Structure formats: structure tokens, C-alpha cells
Amino acid sequence: MPDYNYIQEVNTQYTFMKVNFTPSEELTLTPDFYSSIVRHGSELITVLNGEGNYKYVSDSISTEMGYMPEDLLGTPVLDLVHPEDRPTLRGELFKLLYGAEKQISLPPFRYKAKNGKWHWLSCVSTSMLDNPHVRGIVTNSRDITSKMEALRQKRESQAYYKALFFNNPDLVFTLTINGQVEACNDAVVAIAGYTREDFPESHFGDFVLPEYRVETFEAFNKALAGQSCTFETCIRHHNGTKRHLSATLVPVVLEGRVLAVQCIAKDSTNEKEAGLLVKAQAQKLHNILESMMEGFFALDRAWRYSFGNTVFANFLGRSLDDLMHRNIWEEYPYLIDTQFQQKCFEVAKTKKASQFDEYFPKINTILRMTLSPFADGILVSFVDITEQLAAQEELRKLSLVASKTTNGVIITNNQLEIEWVNEAFSNVTGYTLEEVAGMRPSDFLANSDIDPRELAWVREQLAMGVPMRKEMLSHKKNGEMIWADVTISPIANDKGQIEKHVYIHTDITERKLDQEQLLKTTEHLYHQNQDLQQFNYIVSHNLRAPVANLIGLSSVLQKLDPNSARFMQGVQNLETCARRLDDVISDLNKILAVRSANLQAAHEMVSLSEVAIEVVHSLQHLLNLSGGRVVLNLKEDDLLFANRAYIYSILHNLVSNAIKYKSAHCDLLIELNSVRIKNSLQLSIKDNGSGMDLEVVKPHLFQLYKRFHSGPDGKGIGLYLVKMQMNAIGGEIEVESKPEQGTTFTLYFKHAAYGQ
């Protein structure tokens, strides 16, 4: 701010001189002439005195500035000069006042008009202080306000342009109509990485990535046609990286011609990359949500669906597009007043996540739902656990069955080591889980006489996944034996590997005893039935044969002459037949006697050697006849607790058989040998007789009325009776024989009576 007082002070020092008008001789240059020119000329002329005060002001002041000349006379000129211009002007005035300069073109300055407006004046001041006619400083002023205004405006636009062009943070550059980069700002240099020197030679297309060229050239051509346009492009940075630009081309038009194309571009690389990143992240998020096994959806604050994954869409059987922005409660009214809705409201209010299971009768489904709050609403993820719960329930029931069933249940690992047994197993066997865990069932259950090879085979089968079922004797903890029906089922995992074995161990002791009883009954019935068949056979053959003969003979005899030889023979035959009939009847009686007596037969202590001697004695005459011999190798203590008559009958039958079927080639020798084995007695009766082909006869050997020798002797009852009697006293009989090599019958008496 210039010091106005100081100027005032300085002004007072000036002494302005009055203009002295001398008239021209040729043009009658009268003072009036000059005065008129000065007064009425368009140019403003003023004269200042030595103090810088107006001494004279031409009339044009009134038109130019609105003052009347007399208004200004005597006032300091600097008063009306713009304070900013005053110091400069004062300096110039000093130069004139002190004779440093004779004439000065003053720099333009602002002068205040009467209406208060500032006018720019261009003045030339001439010192005429020495001129006695003037004695002042004459100043010619021209109003250059409009010129100055234009100049100011031009400067201003230039500043704007410069600011816009050079100081723009965006890329600004000018392209010639040939596409060369004519000028560019620092941003271009910074973002493109090229120096200014690189540009003038280059075509802008050299910087644009090939895939963006078409679009970029189109935009440039549009600009050349006078149309500005905005587009996206991408250039290659000096270092090879990409730069995304959002560019606007503006044609520079002067007088209808395009001079150049101005380009303003924004580096959108970050936005672009950020955009891509956001997109990628969104995709990633989408992928995550899609890959979730759980259904997932989001509700906005107005309970409208704002997101959902495919699982969710599939669960509802609707498309996501269809669901979006629909209100969940309107779409699915059955959710209203559910725990789900209640929890939704709660989570929205408390902003605390919540998880719960709920059954939805409408869709017959149990869902495990997780509600989480988020900025724009609620996230819901859910899993259908209906099947899972059903499986759990089934498992619960199964485990209930397994633990409460009356069958013993054992679960082992694939090594057959016990992992679990149920209560019933413990109740039946006496073993608790603690006692047997880790053991193999066969180690403590199986009977010791089980074949290890069979056990190995069973294990092999189980390892192959073959289920087994077996009835076996099992040990109880207290040493008792029980019969168990054991079913072993291998349990394979998804890969087909055996993981576990389940044993169902059922106590079937009672059933087994019943079975044994039943077997005995069946056997008894079978024997009874066999007896009946035998009886039927006897009746139809052996009893009927003599009867048929009797009938035949009696009818024939009627027709024969009683005095003839034939008649006599017939009568003899009649008698023979009657005897045979009697024999059969007595045989039947013997059989029936053994049968009916059976176990009730009186048992007594029988000395085998005594009975043998008796038998040999009774058959002595037959032995004598055939020249046979009997050797008895029996001991004193060969005692049997049995029916004496049976023992006698058995020995008698076997010895007499031996005599009957002696060999024709050698003398008969019969040996009786006894062997004691534990508490049983084994007696063999060996002969060197004609023997038998056992392959042929064995099936019928001990059957009733089966004979293996033709000829008159033998009716086929002896061995049958022997067998029956042996069975009755609890013994077995076996036979060895070869034709012409003799026969050995071996009797096993189970109930020998040693030491009794």
C-alpha cells in the first residue's frame, strides 16, 4: 500500500508552470488557435505545475472522465491515480521535475473517473518547466482502458490455459493433425515414462497397445472431423507395463479448420486394476459360497433376499434371479412365527450370531441354521440335517437293540480283537467288557478240542469278508459249557476293507438239548419203523412162505391117491412146512423178547470166560463132527455188567456160525481174544472159515432173514439177533472178513465192570 501522505508531501514540492501559447506566423497561430485545438481536441492534455498539481486541464476531460476542468485545477494529479500505480508514476514525475528526462512515455496507469471507475491511460509527459510560456509538465493522455482490458483478458486466458495444460494432474497433450505429439505436460512424462524429447518424432499410435488401436484411431479421426469424444484406451509405459487411460480428444478449431487435437487423459490404471481386483475378489467370494455344501443366502434390512448360492436356490427349487429382492416372509409365509423368524429379528437387533436346529413341518425338513449379522442385513447359512438326525436316531435305536437284545453281541476290530460286548453277552457268558476287551473271542470262548485248522480257515473266510454261521460249544467264565449259535458278519468300509466284525452269540443250549432229545426220539422212531418194516418183511416172506406151501400142499394132497408115494412125500413136506412155520414164529418171539425187554432186561455180573466155556461145551458135538477147535484167550476179570442170556446167545450164534461156514480146505480154528481198553472190553471171535465178500454182503449182514450162503443151514436170524442183543446191553459189533481167509467179529462192550 503506497504511502499517500508521502505523495501529498512530495507533490507540494513541485512547481508547475503555465503553458505559454505563441501564435504561428504563417497560419496565424494565435493563442486562441492553440487553445482551441488543445481544449477541444479528443486527446486529453494536462499541464502540471512544479508541485504536481493541475495547472491546466483540457476540456476533453469532461467527456473522458466526467470532470469539469475547473474541478481539477490546483489538485494534485496523483490523487486520482490508482494507488498501485502511484509509486511508479511519482518516480517518473520526479525524473521530469528534476530534469533527469525531458520526455517520458509513462507506463499505462489507472486513473479514477468522476463516476469512480478506473480508466487505463497511456500518457506521454514532456517537461516544459523551462519554457516560460508553459512553466509546467505537459502530458498528453489517451484512454487505453479497452485495450488494457483486452490485454488483461488475454493474459488471463493464457494463465488459465497454462494452468489447464501444464499444471493439470491429468495427462494433457496436443496432437498435430498428423497424430504427432506436439506438446505435453509433466503428467504425460510421468505417466508414460518417456521424456519430452521422445515425443515430437513419435506418432501417438506407437504408444497405444495394439488391441486398443482401432478404437483410439476412431476417436482421433472423429476429433479431426471436429467432434470431441471420450474413450478408454491403454498405452505401454516406457518400462513395459500397461497404463489404462480414460481419454478425451478435443479438436482445436480456428476459423472452421481443425488445427490440432487436444487430449486430456486420466490414468485409470489403478481404478481399472482395482476394478479387476474387486471383480476377482467378488468372483472368489462367489466361488467360495458356491463351493460351500451349505445353503447360503443374505437378507437385507427389509428382509429381502440380496444374495444366495446355488445350494440355496436348489433347496428352494427356484432361480436366484427370481428370488432376489423379494421379501422372505411374503415368499415363504410358513416361516412366520418360526424360531427362524424370531432368531432373525433377534440377530438383527443384537448383532450377535446365532445357531440352532429347527424342524419345518411344511417341507418335512430339519435345518441347522446359522444366522450372522452383517452391515446390510443378515447372512443365513443352513444345512439339511434331516437325514443326519434320522441316521443318528437309527443309530440310537440300533445301539439300543444291540445293548438290550437277549442275544450276545460282540464287536471286534479287523484283527478280531474285541472292542465291545453287550450286556446280554456278559449275562450269558459271565465275561464283562473290561475283562475281554482286546482279546479274540476264540481265545476264551472256543472249546479246546476245536481243530486249529478249522479256526484258521474261519479267520481266513472272515478276512475275505465272508460271513460265517456256526454252532459251537463255548466256555462260560465259570467253566460251564454252553451251545452257542455264532453268526459273524464282517463289516466293510466304503473302500471294501474289513473294518469290524459283529458276532451274534446266541445261547442255544436248551435248543441243542431239545435237538439231541429229538434226535434220540427220531432214532428210536427210526428203529421202531425199521422193526415194523422187518416185521412186515417177515410176515410177507418168511411167515407167508411156509403158509403158502401149507395151502398148496393141502390142496394138492386132496387130489392125490393116499396110497401113492407122491401122497406120502406130500405129507412129509406138509410136516416140514409146519415146522418151518413154527421156527419163524419162535424167531419172532425171540426178537420181540429182546425188543420189548431191551434195557429192562435184568443185568448181572457176567464172567465172559464162564459163558464162553458154556457155549463151547454146548457146541462140542458139532465141533467134534467138523474136527474144529476153539481157543479161549480170556481173563479172569473179563467181567461185564449185562444180561447173561444175551451174552450166551451172542457167543453161541457167532461160534455156531463159524462152525456152519467152516472152510472146506482146512481144519476149523476159532480164537476168542479179549482186550481191555480203559473201561471197555473188546472181544474178538476169529475163525479161519470160508469168509465173506464184505463188499457184497455188508449192507445186509446184520439184517433179519438175510442169508449169504445157499444150502439148508441158516435162516438169516442169527446175526440179526446178535446185533440186537449187543445194542441192548450197550455194545457194538464189527466184522472183518475175506473169502476163504476167515472172519473176525469184534464185540465192544462199553460197560465192562472192572473193579466192581
Partner 1 sequence: MVSKVYIIDDDDISIYLTSLVLEEAGFAHEICAYTSADDALADLPLTAHAPLPDVILLDLNMPVKSGWDFLDTLRPHEEALKGKLDVFILTSSIAVSDKDQSQAYPLVRGFLHKPLDEESLAYISRARNGRA
Residues found near partner 1 in the complex (CB under 8 A): 536-537, 539-541, 544-545, 547-549, 551-553, 555-556, 559, 566, 569-570, 573, 576-577, 706-710, 714, 716
CA dist 170 → 167, 186, 234, 538 (Å): 9, 9, 15, 133
Q: How far is the CB of 553 from partner 1 (least distance, A)?
A: 6
Q: Which is nearer to partner 1, 76 or 714 (CB)?
A: 714
Distance CA 384, CA 358 (A): 10
Q: Which is nearer to partner 1, 556 or 675 (CB)?
A: 556
Q: How far is the CB of 560 from partner 1 (least distance, A)?
A: 8
Could you give the 3-state DSSP secondary structure of residue 313?
helix
CA dist 4 → 78, 107, 116 (Å): 9, 20, 18
Q: Which is nearer to partner 1, 46 or 542 (CB)?
A: 542
The answer to whether 662 and 640 have CB atoms below 8 angstroms apart is no
Q: How far is the CB of 702 from partner 1 (least distance, A)?
A: 15
SS in 3 state form for 137-206? Answer: EEEEEEECHHHHHHHHHHHHHHHHHHHHHHCCCCEEEEEECCCEEEEECHHHHHHHCCCHHHCCCCEHHH
Q: How far is the CB of 507 from partner 1 (least distance, A)?
A: 46
Q: Which residues pair with 734 in a beta bridge?
A: 746
Q: How far is the CB of 736 from partner 1 (least distance, A)?
A: 21
Q: Which residues touch 550 (CB under 8 Å, ≥6 apart)?
A: 574, 577, 578, 581
Q: How far is the CB of 703 from partner 1 (least distance, A)?
A: 12
Q: Which of 219, 162, 169 shows the shortest CA–CA distance to 189? A: 169
Q: Which is nearer to partner 1, 484 or 577 (CB)?
A: 577
Q: Which of 607, 578, 715 shows the shortest CA–CA distance to 656? A: 715
Burial of 494 (0-12, 13-18, 19+ CB in 10 A): exposed
List alpha helices for 627-717, DSSP H: 644-660, 694-697
Q: Which is nearer to partner 1, 94 or 535 (CB)?
A: 535
Q: How far is the CB of 502 from partner 1 (least distance, A)?
A: 53
Question: Is the alpha carbon torsion for 81, 84, 90, 92 positive or negative?
Answer: negative
Q: How far is the CB of 662 from partner 1 (least distance, A)?
A: 18
Q: Which is nearer to partner 1, 549 or 673 (CB)?
A: 549
Q: Which is nearer to partner 1, 370 or 573 (CB)?
A: 573
Q: How far is the CB of 542 from partner 1 (least distance, A)?
A: 8
Q: Which is nearer to partner 1, 230 or 576 (CB)?
A: 576
Q: Which is nearer to partner 1, 218 or 582 (CB)?
A: 582
Distance CA 534, CA 586 (A): 15
Burial 423-436 (b: 16+ CB within 10 A, else e): bbbbebbebeeeeb
